[in-house]
């Protein structure tokens, strides 16, 4: 039989459609910050933040591609999940721009070669996943990109924590326009994956009900929703079917939940993961119980524990991530009950 997937591209993570649903305002604001570059004026730096799958990277990439098409601006995208030091980022820029005779290992030499290569032409550097960079190193990176290379900068993160922790002189100099990306509504997610299904799959291979179930279970994360649709379509092809069935969809939704959990945990610290694992193993845990078991784990691992104040902040971060829920316990004192969602 014919494949139900007639175009794999719209189901891919890197696919950027011509229209980004529910993000028109964000794109306009990004363009307003960057357009001064077309007149060889300084842009406004931008900091985009929000939960994974809310369109931050897609919107920024869309804007950079548009500037590139005008052939007046150099742009470069750095994945800080992989490149976490100024040297690694500098090396990546030299590699992508193919700067010749820059094989000298000294950072100062590479920086000077890159500066001469750019030669005053407008440059925008997009740093995706900047949360993964240590605070001091991020300050060094941003200072050099802004002051030495005179680049426009787009930072993308899950929260504003990395921005708040920058050195004061760097944060003041950067002074970015901060844009928040809220989670998509179920209706918006349905519109997004309906577009993908229409442009990627055979007309009778999916149903409106199937797409509604995907949108309902994706927790506002477009990446999860699109990935679920893609995996469901591939699973149908592997068993030589012609339609996404409820059973196939249920299996892929469960797989997406696990992928979402893994993705969030990978973006957090070891202490977050220890706390989450305690809650997940117990099902439910009072804040006092969680603290005691956390201290025991740290003792067993010969690990320095968090302070009691940081412990509260870390628990709040787990709650904001959606991995756990938290509610006031029915007892005296400021006791909370934590329960794992995934």
Q: Tens digit of pLDDT for each residue in 135-194?
A: 899 999 999 999 888 899 999 998 898 999 999 999 999 999 999 999 999 999 999 999
Q: Cα–Cα–Cα angle for 290, 295, 296, nearest 5°?
A: 100
Question: Quick one: what percent of the chain has pLDDT higher than 70?
Answer: 98
Predicted confidence (pLDDT) at residue 128 exceeds the cutoff of 70? yes
Give the pLDDT confidence score for residue 342 in this predicted structure: 66
Answer whether residue 42 is part of any domain. yes
Rounded to 10 deg, the angle between the 222-238 and 186-200 helix axes is: 40
Domain endpoint, select from 181, 207, 230: 181
Mark whether 86 and 213 lie in a shared domain. Answer: no
Mark whether 91 and 199 lie in a shared domain. Answer: no
Mark whether 243 and 293 lie in a shared domain. Answer: no
Predicted confidence (pLDDT) at residue 276 exceeds the cutoff of 80? yes
Give the integer Cα–Cα distance in Å for 73 and 75.
Answer: 6
> Where residue 47 falls among pLDDT bands split at 50, 70, 90?
very high
3-state secondary structure at position 121: coil
Helix (H), strand (E) at residue 79:
strand 74-79
Give the integer Cα–Cα distance in Å for 23 and 20.
Answer: 6
Cβ burial 134-171 (10 Å sphere, 16+ → b, else e): eeeebbbbbbbbbeebebbbbbbbbeeebbeebeeebe
Predicted confidence (pLDDT) at residue 49 exceeds the cutoff of 90? yes
The end-to-end CA distance of the chain, in Å, is 37
CB distance 132 to 81 below 8 Å:
yes
Q: Is 45 left (phi over 0), alpha (psi -120 to 50) or beta?
A: beta
How many independent structural domains does the chain possess? 3
Q: Where are the alpha helices (DSSP H) in the chain?
A: 24-34, 56-69, 86-97, 107-118, 135-147, 161-164, 168-174, 186-200, 208-217, 222-238, 246-267, 270-282, 287-300, 308-321
* pLDDT 10s digits, 208-260: 999 999 999 998 999 999 999 999 999 999 988 999 999 999 999 888 888 87
Answer whether residue 19 is part of any domain. no
Mark whether 205 and 166 lie in a shared domain. Answer: no
Note down the domain range covering 201.
184-265
Query: CA separation (Å) from 140 to 90, 99, 305?
Result: 12, 22, 28
Mark whether 40 and 155 lie in a shared domain. Answer: yes
Mark whether 163 and 33 lie in a shared domain. Answer: yes
> Where residue 331 falls among pLDDT bands split at 50, 70, 90?
confident
Mark whether 200 and 250 lie in a shared domain. Answer: yes
How many alpha carbons lie under 13 Å from residue 320 in its C-beta half-sphere? 14
Answer whether residue 7 is part of any domain. no
Answer whether residue 8 is part of any domain. no
Give the pLDDT confidence score for residue 161 in this predicted structure: 87
Give the pLDDT confidence score for residue 61 in this predicted structure: 96
* pLDDT 10s digits, 75-127: 999 999 889 999 999 999 999 998 877 666 788 888 888 888 888 889 999 99
Mark whether 235 and 188 lie in a shared domain. Answer: yes
Give the integer Cα–Cα distance in Å for 100 and 305.
Answer: 48
Mark whether 140 and 61 lie in a shared domain. Answer: yes
- The structure tokens listed for 151 are 């680049």
Predicted confidence (pLDDT) at residue 204 exceeds the cutoff of 80? yes
Q: Pick from 43, 83, 81: which is nearest to 63 by CA?
A: 43
pTM passes above 0.85: no
């Amino acid at each position: 039989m014919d494949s139900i997937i007639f175009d794999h591209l719209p189901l891919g993570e890197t696919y950027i459609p011509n229209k980004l649903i529910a993000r028109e305002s964000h794109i306009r604001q990004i363009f307003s910050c960057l357009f001064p570059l077309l007149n060889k004026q300084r842009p406004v730096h931008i900091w985009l933040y929000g939960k994974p799958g809310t369109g931050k990277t897609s919107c920024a990439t869309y804007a950079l591609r548009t500037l590139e098409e005008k052939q007046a601006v150099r742009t470069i995208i750095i994945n800080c999940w992989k490149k976490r030091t100024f040297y690694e980022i500098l090396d990546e820029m030299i590699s992508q721009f193919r700067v010749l005779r820059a094989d000298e290992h000294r950072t100062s030499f590479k920086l000077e070669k890159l500066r001469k290569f750019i030669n005053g032409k407008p440059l925008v550097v997009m740093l995706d996943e900047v949360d993964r960079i240590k605070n001091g190193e991020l300050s060094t990176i941003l200072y050099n990109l802004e002051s030495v290379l005179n680049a426009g900068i787009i930072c993308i993160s899950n929260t504003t924590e990395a921005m708040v922790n920058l050195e004061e002189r760097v944060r003041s100099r950067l002074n970015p326009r901060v844009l928040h990306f809220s989670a998509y509504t179920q209706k918006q997610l349905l519109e997004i994956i309906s577009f993908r299904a229409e442009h990627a799959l055979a007309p009778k291979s999916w149903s409106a009900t199937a797409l509604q179930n995907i949108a309902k279970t994706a927790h506002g994360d477009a990446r999860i929703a699109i990935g679920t649709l893609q995996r469901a379509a591939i699973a149908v092809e592997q068993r030589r079917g012609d339609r996404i069935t409820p059973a196939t969809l249920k299996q892929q939704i469960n797989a997406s939940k696990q992928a979402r959990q893994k993705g969030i945990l990978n973006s957090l610290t070891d202490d977050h993961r220890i706390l989450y694992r305690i809650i997940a193993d117990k099902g439910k845990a009072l804040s006092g119980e969680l603290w005691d078991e956390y201290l025991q784990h740290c003792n067993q691992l010969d690990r320095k524990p968090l302070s009691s104040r940081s412990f509260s902040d870390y628990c709040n971060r787990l709650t904001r991530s959606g991995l756990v829920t938290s509610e006031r316990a029915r007892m005296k004192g400021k006791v909370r009950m934590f329960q794992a969602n995934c």
